[in-house]
Amino acid sequence: MKYEWIDEYLLGKKGVTKDLQEEWNWIRYNIGGKMFAAICRDDDNIPVYITLKLDPLEGDYFRKEYEDIIPGYYMNKTHWNSVKADGEVPDDVMKDLLDKAYTIVFENLTKKKQKEILEG
């Protein structure tokens, strides 16, 4: 996978946890119990996609801008997008997408949950 830094980058964000969704073989990244990104792996545990949540208009923009960004793999195609794990999306753009995904999910948490995360 091109984006070897993702795990450390995401776990460095306030309140992020990760787990393994065994049925899908996905490593999921959550904030407040809600997924905002995932590393989707094949049967040999090789990352195939990084799936993340985006505002629908932004997702549409990035899919037009980069051929390695497609509608969400096994997800809602409006709100979720998948980046090919060995694709050509630059690291700085990938970090921006991950930041956007984190922010979207964080901002949709209750104010109480947001406060718990920020003070945690």
Q: In 1-120, which ranges are continuous DSSP H helix?
A: 6-11, 56-65, 91-107, 111-119
Q: What is the pLDDT of residue 75?
A: 82
CATH topology of domain 6-119: Aspartate Aminotransferase, domain 1 (3.90.1150)
- Local confidence pLDDT in tens for the 120 residues of the chain: 899 999 999 999 999 999 999 999 999 999 999 999 999 999 999 999 999 999 999 999 999 999 999 999 878 888 999 999 999 999 999 999 999 999 999 999 999 999 999 997
| H-helix or E-strand spanning residue 17 | strand 16-21
What pLDDT is recorded for position 78? 85
- CA 79 to CA 14: how far, in whole Å? 23
pLDDT score at 53: 97
Q: Checking phi first, is residue 54 left (phi over 0); if not, alpha (psi -120 to 50) or beta?
A: beta
> 16 and 102 in contact (C-beta within 8 Å)?
yes
Query: What distance in Å separates the CA atoms of residue 23 and residue 31, rounded to the nearest whole number?
Result: 21
